[in-house]
Amino acid sequence: MKLIIAVIHDEDAHKLVDALTSQGYMATKLASTGGFLKTGNTTLFVGVKEQEVDKVLGIIEEKCQTKKELSLMNPPIPSAIEGCMPYPVEITVGGATIFVIDIEKYLKI
């Protein structure tokens, strides 16, 4: 058994969970927050047989594409005057950060 942990953009969560469940995979969904942009993420836990890992990774890749967005950032200057204007910065959002972990024991009680 393998445990796939996928940290994805909130906007991709619904379509990914729908795609996984339509293929017969069960997923546990947790709300999480990114450290850099401090925006909402979703973390999914999916337990699968070893031979199904590539299929699940393909579904994640298909449903969680990266895209460019503009975000307003404040200049990181400690001595900046209060009320300084934020400026737009192009950032990449979406995609997935994925961990595949060996499972020593799996129980469903």
Rounded Cα gap, residues 46 and 2, in angstroms: 8
Q: pLDDT per residue over 19-40, tens digit each?
A: 999 999 999 999 988 766 567 7
* Cα angle 20-24-28, degrees, rounded to a multiple of 5: 55
β-bridge pairing 2-9 and 87-94: unpaired
Q: Rounded to whole angstroms, how far apart are CA atoms 70 and 17?
A: 27
Residue-wise pLDDT tens digits, 85-101? 667 776 666 689 999 99
- At 60, list the tokens: 């994640």
Domains of the chain by range and CATH?
A: 2-65+93-102 (3.30.70.120)
pTM exceeds 0.85, yes or no: no
Q: What percent of the chain has pLDDT over 70?
A: 73
Position 88 scores a pLDDT of: 73
